[in-house]
Amino acid sequence: MDYSPETIAEAIAGTCVSYIGRENLVHLAVVLNPRYEEADIIMALAHDSEGERRRVYGIFLDEVLPLYAQELALNVRFYAADAHIFTTAAAQHSHALI
């Protein structure tokens, strides 16, 4: 990877926000593991439901993943807005928290 982990994480987060919409997200964290060339995208949706998760995952598959697939393996995980993972992710040097 030619860019810093922070730069890559910020780019991934920005792409997610652009396609999903900031108004649809409560939290978004990108945890990048450059050693394994992978990133976990952890998000909480404003209107969390199975249907909304499917819609957002479809956006991820169609719009976000193709932009980074040559460089990184991307994983998406949905959590409730009050999930402990968001404070834990921040403590573990995650990037691009919103």
Which residues does 94 contact at the CB level (< 8 Å), separation at least 6?
9, 29, 30, 31, 42
Please report how the helices 5-20 and 50-59 are oriented relative to each other, as an axis angle in degrees rounded to 10: 120
Q: What CATH number has the domain bearing residue 21?
A: 3.30.300.20
The whole-angstrom separation of Cα 42 and Cα 88 is 11
pLDDT in the model for residue 62: 98
Range of the domain at 42: 5-91
Look up the pTM and report it: 0.86
- Split into its structural domains, the chain has a count of 1
Position 96 in a domain? no
Is the separation of the CB atoms in 13 and 96 below 8 Å? yes
pLDDT in the model for residue 33: 87
Q: Tell me: the pLDDT tens digits for 24-44?
A: 999 999 988 888 899 999 999
Using 70 as the pLDDT threshold, list the residues of the chain that sit under it.
Answer: 1, 89-98
Position 67 in a domain? yes
Position 97 in a domain? no
Phi, psi of 35 (to 5 degrees): -60, -40
pLDDT in the model for residue 3: 81
pLDDT in the model for residue 92: 57
